[in-house]
């Protein structure tokens, strides 16, 4: 039968790879990454952590400042649990949406608890004799991320 | 002796006018022209500055989100995907990174961003295949031209 413009659909035909072969390839890859983690062949790890309703991209030895109060004294060690992504130079582990607690461990210390600089909130309507001025001072907490560790328990 | 009313030279007078004026002028020191020196002009400028900064704090959030979206769009076009396809397929694969993080990863971790783009592309193709189905026509429907005589 002759080929016309309507024989095949206008979008490009896409073929997915064979599921059996793909499963084998995935298992091999998982084994390789597990071995890499177990032998410690990674440099600096970075992690994406969900904390204080914000997402942070953190590495070891870096500082984080939150705009609220944390119920922990200065010097307390804290474990950040909601980890979305962990990566090194050669591999990344993407969580759907979170990674397991037996896979990653992120430790942080509370360094200081201060207040923010006085922010001025002012409202003014012209010709209506209406103005209000309010000074807002938010409590802030500074955390230092100590370590990010991963354990070879992928499957 | 006890006096029933105060003397005429004892009045209530404002003594810290200087400091009240300085409180306003300190916020105007970096302005241009006479409004950094003269109190009457400075009061108006400082009030406008405070009001503008309060409104800007609310708009900064909108502005930054638009910036992140532009950056993510540029980065995923380099990998051959468009922004709506990228974001929708990432959400369908249950990856809940927000736009700020994806923009930061695109800048500082290019390999990770490439893997995210590949994940989105694969999920997109799987979605298309699932929508197309088997390729057979549904029963009971024919598509040849019918002649009415």
Measure A121 CA to nearest chain B CA, in Å: 6
* Residue in A with minimal Cα distance to B108: A57
- Is the pLDDT at B37 greater than 80? The verdict is yes
| C-beta of residue B36 within 8 angstroms of C-beta of residue B22 | no
**What mean pLDDT is predicted for residues B70-96?**
95
* B12 burial level (CB within 10 Å; 0-12, 13-18, 19+): exposed
Least CB–CB distance from A131: residue in B47, B116, B125: B47
- The rounded mean pLDDT for chain A is 92
Cβ distance B109 to A87 less than 8 Å, yes or no, reads yes
Range scoring the smallest mean pLDDT among A63-67, B10-14, B44-48, B57-61: B10-14
**What mean pLDDT is predicted for residues B50-62?**
96
| C-beta of residue A120 within 8 angstroms of C-beta of residue A37 | no
Determine which of A83, A93, A124 to mutate to test the interface with B (most B C-beta atoms within 10 Å). Answer: A124
| C-beta of residue B42 within 8 angstroms of C-beta of residue B25 | yes
- Is the pLDDT at B143 greater than 70? The verdict is no
The ranges assigned to domains in chain A are 19-150
The pTM of the full predicted model, rounded to 2 decimals, is 0.87
Look at residue A103 in the predicted model and tell me its pLDDT.
92
Look at residue B6 in the predicted model and tell me its pLDDT.
87
For B6-109, where are the alpha helices, taking DSSP H only?
Answer: 17-25, 39-78, 83-92, 99-108
Chain A hits for B116, Cβ within 8 Å: 94
The ranges assigned to domains in chain B are 17-58, 60-132
Cβ distance B108 to A57 less than 8 Å, yes or no, reads yes
Q: CA B32 to CA B36: how far, in whole Å?
A: 6
Cβ distance B128 to A48 less than 8 Å, yes or no, reads no
pLDDT digits (tens, 9 = 90+) for B108-127: 999 999 999 999 999 999 99
pLDDT digits (tens, 9 = 90+) for A95-128: 889 999 999 999 999 999 999 999 999 999 999 9
CATH code of the domain made up of B60-132: 1.10.1900.20
pLDDT digits (tens, 9 = 90+) for A11-36: 888 888 999 999 999 999 999 999 99
Q: Does the CB of A16 have a partner CB in chain B at under 8 Å?
A: yes
Determine which of A25, A43, A48 to mutate to test the interface with B (most B C-beta atoms within 10 Å). Answer: A48
């Amino acid at each position: 039968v002759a080929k016309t413009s309507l024989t095949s659909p206008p979008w490009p035909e896409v073929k997915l790879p064979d599921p059996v072969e793909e499963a084998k390839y995935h298992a091999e890859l998982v084994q390789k990454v597990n071995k890499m983690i177990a032998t410690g062949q990674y440099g600096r790890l970075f992690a994406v952590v969900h904390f204080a309703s914000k997402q942070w991209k953190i590495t070891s030895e870096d500082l984080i400042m939150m705009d609220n109060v944390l119920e922990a004294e200065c010097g307390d060690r804290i474990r950040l649990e909601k980890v979305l992504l962990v990566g090194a130079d050669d591999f990344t582990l993407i969580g759907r949406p979170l990674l397991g607690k037996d896979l990653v461990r992120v430790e942080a210390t509370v360094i200081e608890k201060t207040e923010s600089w006085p922010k001025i909130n002012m409202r003014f309507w012209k010709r209506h004799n209406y103005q209000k001025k309010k000074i807002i001072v938010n409590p802030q907490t500074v955390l230092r991320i100590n370590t990010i560790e991963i354990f070879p328990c992928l499957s | 002796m006890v006096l029933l009313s105060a003397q005429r030279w004892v009045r209530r007078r404002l003594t810290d006018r200087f400091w009240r004026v300085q409180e306003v002028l300190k916020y105007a020191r970096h302005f241009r022209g006479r409004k950094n020196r003269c109190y009457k002009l400075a009061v108006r400028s400082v009030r406008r500055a405070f009001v503008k900064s309060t409104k800007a704090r609310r708009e900064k959030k909108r502005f930054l989100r638009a910036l992140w979206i532009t950056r993510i769009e540029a980065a995923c076009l380099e990998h051959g995907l468009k922004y709506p396809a990228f974001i929708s397929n990432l959400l369908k694969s249950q990856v809940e990174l927000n736009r700020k993080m994806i923009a930061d990863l695109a800048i500082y971790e290019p390999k990770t961003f490439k893997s995210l783009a590949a994940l989105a592309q694969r999920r997109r193709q799987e979605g298309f295949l699932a929508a197309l189905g088997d390729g057979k026509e549904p029963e009971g429907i024919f598509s040849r031209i019918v002649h009415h005589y």
